[in-house]
Copies of this chain bind each other. A is one copy, B any other.
């Protein structure tokens, strides 16, 4: 018989609550730039490195189905923040890369998000944040930890 525990002690519940609160805050911070949390994520990933990222890899990193990436890239491409170029080596792949304007917007967005996050993370002792980050990474990416564009794509567990 399982011990009766409080919901507010459940890490899954706390993850959901914390994630929701932080995402709402980030969403408000990004609104003036016409970005949402998810398009912000795409823009960030498109701006890392210079070789570009495939949509498949975006999907794997963000934990989404590839079909959900299409509209996100469409939007950013229409606004001139990223380009979508077929990979010469394998024309099935489309490489997503941030434009100069995309890099500028990304930097602005990053500052706004950081500021919004600080409202929440200031409440956590600084040394705890590194450990928090480490623990979250192990939970979010159980198989292998993404470091940069070079590592193998990781898929969400079933």
Contact = CB atoms under 8 A, between A and B. Distances in A.
Nearest to A116: B12
Contacts of A8: 61, 137, 141, 145-147
A153 to B, nearest CB: 12
Query: Dominant SS at the A interface?
Result: helix
Contacts of A114: 2
Contacts of A134: 128
A41 interface: yes
Interface string A126-149: 001101111111111110011110
Interface residues of A, number: 65
Interface stretch (A20-28, A67-75, A87-95): A20-28
Interface of A: 1-2, 4-26, 37, 41, 44-45, 47-48, 61-63, 107, 110-111, 113-114, 117, 119-121, 123-124, 128-129, 131-142, 145-148, 156-157
Give 9 closest A-B pairs by Cβ, nearest first. A17-B140, A19-B19, A14-B136, A18-B140, A7-B44, A15-B19, A18-B139, A123-B138, A12-B22
